[in-house]
DNA sequence: ATTACTGTACCGTCTGGACGGTAAAGTCAA
DNA sequence: TTGACTTTACCGTCCAGACGGTACAGTAAT
């Protein structure tokens, strides 16, 4: 039982890692199994096929985010934008190989990202419902999305001081301290 | 000669198209050739291997952008941020299957996006050199990057009115009319 | 004659996935 | 508590098909 859970984790992690390093198109089950220290049979026991693996990658990403967001807000949606900003920045900070699982999923089948779309829409609606400056909320959302994308693409170009500046500016816009 | 040029175009277009529709991981040379109405031999005549095709996809994307940006600015860098905003929005407007070639390249080999990184950095520096509000320029850049990413990922969620609102806001920040 | 292909045949490798096996842990009646 | 059985969590092998790439003969326009 304990072994099962950790195998799944290791496989998921290995998949994200490999996707980022060698390009999502070359992500093979063999490679994932080897990297995770599991046999191919073991991999396919945990995930019946490649699509299932990719789906799990997306779900894990979303689950992580959702959980931490729920923790940060503790049921209350007050100041959601600020919480979201903090969370997203923190996630960006610790080098994100986790989110490159999304890349693998996208490469495998674009429709696998549908849950991400839904999650984002819901989040945006919750933030808008908070009653703040809608324009600022949209800017916040897109700036963060832009940063995430650059990380994912490996085309991040902002210097630390630029990053600080833009995040400060956005925080200001949504009315954080 | 005329045939050569149009074949290349058709192939590039077909590759982008297929990458977006069936997932970049399943982009095969056979499929691209078929979709472009070219034989596989013909494809390999134009692009000696898959990596070359992907590289050309990236180059074409950048070339397009560069050309149009140069046209819009006519050598002058004054008001570059505004030009960039207009251009990026226009590019977003006409449904972008072209940029999903980037996706295929990324999936094939992440390092193929290095030229994109360089292009972005240069562009950002040029905009900063214009002397405007640096924070606003960074926000502009990232918001646009965010929108592009959402389009690429198929996770675009903004309603037209939200899009208008956020673009207006950004335009205001960089001091456009 | 050259250019820009087409079409076909083929090769070696990789890949997803099916399959049969198995060691260990858990369940349960006697 | 022991033996019989089931379930869980894998391992290792195998294979059909897909893939990237090569080779080469042919063709139609310039």
DSSP letter for each residue of B115-139? HHHHHHHHHHHHHHHTTS-HHHHHH
- Is A86 a residue whose pLDDT tops 50? yes
Q: Percent of chain A at pLDDT above 70?
A: 94
**Listed range (A42-46, A75-79, B148-152) with the worst mean pLDDT:** A75-79
Asked if residue B125 belongs to a domain, the reply is yes
| Nearest protein residue to the C1' atom of D9, measured from CA | A4
Interface residues, strand D, Cβ cutoff 7 Å? A 1, 3-4, 7-8, 38-46; B 26-31, 40-41, 44, 48-51
Does a structural domain hold residue B130?
A: yes
Give the range with max mean pLDDT: A90-94, B33-37, B73-77, B90-94: B33-37
CA distance B132 to B144: 18
Q: What pLDDT does residue A96 have?
A: 66
Identify the CATH number of the domain in which residue A60 sits.
1.10.357.10
Mean pLDDT, range A69-87, rounded to an integer: 86
Predicted confidence band at A92 (pLDDT cuts at 50, 70, 90)? Answer: confident
Mean pLDDT of chain B: 90
* Residue range B100-129, pLDDT digits in tens: 889 899 998 989 999 999 999 999 999 999
Residue closest to A10 by CA, chosen among A37, A40, A29: A37
pLDDT surpasses 70 at B71: yes
Provide, as residue numbers in chain A, all residues whose Cβ is less than 8 Å from the Cβ of B101: none
Burial class (CB in 10 A: 0-12, 13-18, 19+), B95: exposed
Q: Structural domain tally of chain B? A: 1
* pLDDT reported for residue B4: 58
Which residues of A fall within a CB distance of 8 Å from B26?
108
Q: Distance, angstroms, CA A16 to C1' D12?
A: 25
Are residues B29 and B44 in contact, defined by beta-carbon separation less than 8 angstroms? yes
Whether pLDDT at A6 is above 90: no
What local confidence, expressed as pLDDT, does residue B126 receive? Answer: 95
Nucleotide nearest to A31 (CA to C1'): C15
Q: Mean pLDDT in chain A?
A: 90
Q: Residue A40 is encoded by which pair of tokens?
A: 């191919």
Q: Is the pLDDT of residue B1 over 50?
A: no
Give B52-55 contacts, CB < 8 A, sequence gap 24+: B53/B11, B53/B12, B53/B15, B53/B29, B54/B101, B54/B104, B54/B105, B54/B108, B54/B109, B54/B112, B55/B105, B55/B112
State residue B119's pLDDT score.
Answer: 97
Residue B78 belongs to a domain: yes
Tell whether B9 is covered by a domain: no
Residue A1 has pLDDT above 90, yes or no: no
In this complex, which residue's CA is closest to the C1' atom of nucleotide D19? B28
Determine what percent of chain B is predicted with pLDDT higher than 90.
67
Residue with tokens 């979303």: A62
- Torsional class of B131: left (φ above 0), alpha (ψ -120 to 50), beta (otherwise): left
Q: Within 13 A of B14's CA, how many CA atoms are on the CB side?
A: 21
Please report the beta strands in A32-155, taking only residues with DSSP state E, as ranges in sequence order.
none
Q: Looking at residues A76-92, what average pLDDT do you find? A: 88
pLDDT of residue B157: 97
Q: Sorting pLDDT into bands at 50, 70 and 90, what band is B163?
A: very high
Residue A170 has pLDDT above 90, yes or no: yes
CB pair distance less than 8 Å for B20 and A110: yes
Inside any domain, residue B6: no
State, as a whole number of angstroms, the distance between the CA of A30 and the C1' of D14. Answer: 14
Q: Output the distance from A21 CA to C22 C1' rounded to whole Å.
A: 35
For residue range A136-166, list pLDDT tens digits in order: 999 999 999 999 999 989 999 999 999 999 9
Q: Are A129 and A81 contacting, i.e. CB atoms less than 8 angstroms apart?
A: no
Domain around A131: 2-173
pLDDT digits (tens, 9 = 90+) for A112-131: 999 999 999 999 999 999 88
CB of A129 within 8 Å of a chain B CB? The answer is no
Q: Is the pLDDT of residue B63 over 90?
A: yes
Q: Do B107 and A150 touch (CB under 8 A)?
A: no
The arithmetic mean of pLDDT across residues B148-171, rounded, is 95
CB < 8 Å from B in window 53-112 of A: 102-104, 106-111
- Structural domain contains residue B165: yes
């Amino acid at each position: 039982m304990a072994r099962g859970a950790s195998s799944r984790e290791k496989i998921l992690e290995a998949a994200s890692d490999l996707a980022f390093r060698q390009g999502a198109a070359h992500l093979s089950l063999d490679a994932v199994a080897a990297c995770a220290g599991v046999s191919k049979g073991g991999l396919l026991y945990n995930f019946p096929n490649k699509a299932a693996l990719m789906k799990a990658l997306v779900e894990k990403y979303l689950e992580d985010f959702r959980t931490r967001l729920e923790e940060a807000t503790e049921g209350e949606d007050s100041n959601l934008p600020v919480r979201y900003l903090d969370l997203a920045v923190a996630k960006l900070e610790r080098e994100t190989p986790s989110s490159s699982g999304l890349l693998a999923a996208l490469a495998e089948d674009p429709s696998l990202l549908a849950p991400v779309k839904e999650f984002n829409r819901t989040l945006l609606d919750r933030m808008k419902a908070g009653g703040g400056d809608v324009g600022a909320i949209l800017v916040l959302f897109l700036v963060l999305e832009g940063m995430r994308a650059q990380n994912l693409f490996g085309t991040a170009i902002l210097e630390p001081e630029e990053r600080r500046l833009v995040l400060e500016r956005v925080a200001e816009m949504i009315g954080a301290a």
